[in-house]
Amino acid sequence: MRFPSRSTYALPATVCVAGLLLLIGWDASGLDLAVAQWFGNSHGFPLRDHWLFSTVLHTGGRAAGYVLAGWLVVKLLLPDEPHRARIAWLLATAVSGMLLVSVIKHQSLSSCPWDLQPFGGPATHVSHWLWGVADGGPGRCFPAGHASAAFAWLAGWFAWRDLNPRRARVWLAGALAAGLVLGLAQQVRGAHFASHTLWTAWVCWTWAWACTLLLPQGARRAAAAG
């Protein structure tokens, strides 16, 4: 396994910086509440417990991420697997990306839309930029945890782009599509704002890029056969 040299990271860096600027602009626009009001009202979110969003896309989406991780573990155990080091890196990066999002989320005081006063809850809307400022609700809702079960696999683009660009594009498209679907399902239910989903995508992309840049040179040489 041989990752591209640091000099080839113009595209990931551009995506990282451009994504950050767009996210800052979205946060400043105040559109989170406006979009949430498409799906909820003062009585809450009518589709919060709908089977499609709460069971299929919420519970099932998370399970799909676990199944994918399990499939990669099985591939690692195959004696004739030619890309063991590459798959191990992908698995470790994706799983650690999910854990990173979870850690941030559990430290956040930002509550979910369904906990806010405009939707029948007790909390007031406080920007997640105001870290450490409580909003009167239970918090622990920023960024979107379930969407990370898909966005964490953006690491697949980094893992395969030097060896198999087509496969890399499939991983990229699949992770983006699945993450946006899972994120939208949670927005419909009132579990997250749009910004929560978008920030999860940015964190997962940036984490995967950082893991590639920080891969020790010794590990690069050891992985050359994979």
- Express each pLDDT in 156-167 by its tens digit: 999 999 889 999
Domain limits, the chain = 38-213
pLDDT of 37 over the 50 cut: yes
What pLDDT, on the 0 to 100 scale, is given for residue 91? Answer: 95
pLDDT of 36 over the 60 cut: yes
Task: Report percent pLDDT > 70 for the chain.
Answer: 91
Q: Residue 8 — very low, low, confident or very high, per pLDDT cuts 50/70/90? A: low
pLDDT in tens, 196-218: 999 999 999 999 999 988 765 43
What pLDDT, on the 0 to 100 scale, is given for residue 3? Answer: 52
Mean pLDDT of the chain: 90
| Cis check: omega of the bond before 143, within 30 degrees of 0 | yes
CB-based burial, 53-70: b 16+ in 10 Å, e otherwise: bbeebbeebbeebeebbe
Distance CA 137, CA 111 (A): 6
pLDDT in tens, 96-111: 999 999 999 999 999 9
What pLDDT, on the 0 to 100 scale, is given for residue 115? Answer: 97
pLDDT of 30 over the 50 cut: yes
Q: Tell me the three state secondary structure of residue 141.
A: coil
pLDDT of 129 over the 50 cut: yes
Residues 11-23 have a mean pLDDT of: 94
